[in-house]
Amino acid sequence: MSKNNDVPQAYVKQEEGYRIKALRLYPWVCGRCAREFEYSNLRELTVHHVDHNHSNNPEDGSNWELLCIYCHDNEHNKYHEHIMYGGSTTDRKVEAATHSPFADLKAMLNKSK
């Protein structure tokens, strides 16, 4: 085990490998919020595996996207909630919300006058 939160050294080495490759392939910009990074804050830019499989690391980077730590956490939370509340591990598509809580807001405000 390594000093890195008791993560096996082989995993740390694998992660460093695809991280370096992804940082060479893609611009240092979060794929969700478009926040730009430079060397001084690059530690806040993570490599996200699109299919959530950390062993799937094609050389062309087709399973990676760079996300800031906040968007990366949000992406994983959405995925886990989808699995927990009715999705399956093979069904990775999360449908967009269709409910609009403020759709009738104007009528509700006018009603109280």
Round to whole Å and give the CA distance between 38 and 52: 26
Tokens at 55, concatenated: 């062993």
| pLDDT tops 90 at residue 108 | no
Average pLDDT, the chain: 81
- pTM value is 0.62
Round to whole Å and give the CA distance between 5 and 24: 26
Q: How confident is the model at residue 5 (pLDDT cuts 50, 70, 90)?
A: low
Please write down the long-range contacts of 85-89, taking CB distance under 8 Å and 24 or more positions apart: none
